Amino acid sequence: MAHFLEDIKAGIERDPATKTSFELFFTSPGLHAIWNHRIAHFIWRIKLRTLSRVFANVAKLITGIEIHPGATIGRRFVIDHGVGVVIGETAIIGDDVMMYHGVTLGGVVNQAVKRHPTIGNNVVLGANAIILGDITIGDGAKVGAGAIVVKDLPAGKVAVSPTATVL
């Protein structure tokens, strides 16, 4: 229950357009996707894989956000707007991450290995950013809108432009 309350508080703190917990609860597809993922992930961990994927697919139809039930997501994760977000099976997302619409945490190999990114704590992922492969985005890093990242991004750094120039 504590995670659910933290999710609401984080959503209110990071979304200036949402004024109340009531409004966030009833209107945020990002919040609904995260909560559905927490349930699907629990089902995944108890080895009911098909059921967890069915649950995740229903959530995707409702929210427009696709989170594989195998993905590991930390606390106070906020998805703002959210439509078009895709988070792959082996992705790991730290605490206090802010993700905007259209972000992809995707894989580049077709094997049963760690093939999706690891996102550190306090990271911001801009709209339509694409982060591919088993790479790490360090704590406090920022990935700009539309950036394509295929190499590790050190803590505190910023990646911008379609070629992901590190600043």
Residues with active-site annotation: 101
In degrees, rounded to 5, the angle at the alpha carbon of residue 13 between the alpha carbons of residues 7 and 17 is: 105
